[in-house]
Amino acid sequence: MISFSLFGFSRPAFAAPSFVSTSGTKFILNGKPFYFAGTNNYYFHYKSKKMVDDVFHDMKAMNLKVIRIWGFIDGKAHDQSVMQPAPGVYDESGFSKLDYAIYKAGQMGVKLVIPFVNNWDEFGGMNQYVRWFGANGHDAFYTDQRIKQAYKHYVSYMLNRVNTYTGVKYKDDPTIMTWELANEPRVRSDRSGNILVEWADEMSSYIKSIDRKHLVAVGDEGFYRIDGHHDWIFNGSEGVDWMRLTALPNIDYGTYHLYPDHWGKTAEWGNQWITDHIRDGEKIGKPVVLEEYGFKDQTRRDHVYKSWLDLIEKHHGAGSQFWILTGIQDDGTLYPDYDGFRIVYPSSSATIISEHAKRMNEK
C-alpha cells in the first residue's frame, strides 16, 4: 500500500473507485466479474437526507450493491423539489438532492442506475415534453425534433453537471454505473419497433459522444417482437423489440422487468421469462439484468422470489433489482406501501433477497 505525507502525518492512499464495464455477458469491476443484487427507489430526488440514508443503510444490511433511482422531475414540483420546471430550465431544488444521493452512494460503496425520463406520467414524463411543445400524442416524444433536442439538452446538462457535494461532474463519477434512456419506454403506435430502436440508437450514441466512461441501457421492460405471436408481450404491440434494442452498438446491456400481476400472467410464467432473457442475452453477447420485479401476494411472495432468483443464479444472469426498497419517513414511520410491492428490512422477503445477494457477490 502506498502512503503519502501531509503536514508530517502519513496516510494510506487508496485506489479511486472504478467504473463498471462489461465483457461479454458479464459486468466487470476492478478487473473482476461483478454479479449483483440490487433494488429501486423513486424518492431520492425529492425526500429528505434522513429517508435517503435509511434506505442506503438497509441496502448495506441486505448485501445490495446497486440501486436504480430517478433522474427526472419534469414540470410540476414534488415536495417543493423539481429538476426541469420548463424546457432547458434546471432547478437546484431537485438537482441538489440528486447530488446528495450520488454523494451518499459513493460513501456507501453503492453503484447507481439513473434514467433520464419516465414513459409514464409520474414526475412529468414523456407527456410533459409533449405538452411543452404542443406535439400530437405521447409517441411524438420519440419523433418530434424539438422534443428530441430538449431531451438532448437535459442529458447534456446532467452529464456535465458538477455535484455540489463532491465537486465531480456526473460524467466523471464512477459511483454512477449506468445511464438509462428512459424508464419503461413504449411506442404503441409503431408495432414494427423501428421508432424506438431508431430513437434509442440516436440517444445512446449522443450520450456516448459526451461520456464514454459509463454504461448505457435502454431501461425497457424486455418485450419481444415476434411476427404472428398471439401474446401482446411477444408480438410487438407495445412498440418494443428487445432483441434489436439490446443489440444496438452503444447499448451496453439488456434490461427486463417482471410484473405478473400487471401483465395478466402467473408467477410461474415468470420463470420462463427470466430464462428466455438470459438465453437471448447470451446470443447477443451482452449482460442482462432483471432490473424490476414484483409480486403482490405476500403469502406467496417469498417462494416466488426465491424461485426467480434461484433461476438467475443457475443460468448466470448478470444481476437482479427488485421493486421497491423503502425505509422510514421523517417521523420514523414506514414509507407507505403505495403499489403493493414494498420490501422493508428486516422482513422474510428481505432475508430471501439478502441471501441471494450474498451468493451473487461471491461469484
Domains of the chain: 35-361 (3.20.20.80)
Residue 263, class by beta-carbon neighbours within 10 Å (0-12 exposed, 13-18 middle, 19+ buried)? middle
Going by the DSSP 8-state scheme, the letter that residue 42 receives in this structure is: S
- Can you give the pLDDT of all 363 residues of the chain as single tens digits? 333 333 333 333 445 689 999 999 999 999 999 999 999 999 999 999 999 999 999 999 999 999 999 999 999 999 999 999 999 999 999 999 999 999 999 999 999 999 999 999 999 999 999 999 999 999 999 999 999 999 999 999 999 999 999 999 999 999 999 999 999 999 999 999 999 999 999 999 999 999 999 999 999 999 999 999 999 999 999 999 999 999 999 999 999 999 999 999 999 999 999 999 999 999 999 999 999 999 999 999 999 999 999 999 999 999 999 999 999 999 999 999 999 999 999 999 999 999 999 999 999
Q: What is the pLDDT of residue 11?
A: 38
Q: Is 301 helix (H, G, I), strand (E, B) or coil?
A: helix
Whole-angstrom CA distances from 147 to 81, 187, 193, 239, 301 are 23, 15, 19, 19, 41
The residue length of the chain stands at: 363
To 10 degrees, the CA torsion angle through 321, 290, 197, 200? 20
Q: Which amino acid is at 36?
A: F
Establish whether 268 is a catalytic residue: no
C-alpha triplet 271, 312, 173: angle, nearest 5°: 130
Residue among 122, 282, 292, 355 flagged as catalytic: 292
Q: What is the pLDDT of residue 17?
A: 81
Residue among 122, 180, 184, 221 flagged as catalytic: 184
C-alpha triplet 160, 163, 165: angle, nearest 5°: 170
One DSSP character per residue, 141-198 reads GGT-HHHHHHHHHHHHHHHHPBPTTT--BGGG-TTEEEEES-BS---TT-TTSHHHHH
Establish whether 92 is a catalytic residue: no
Sign of CA dihedral 31, 107, 159, 200: positive
Q: What is the pLDDT of residue 6?
A: 38
Q: What is the pLDDT of residue 15?
A: 54
CA–CA dist 245, 333 (Å, integer): 41
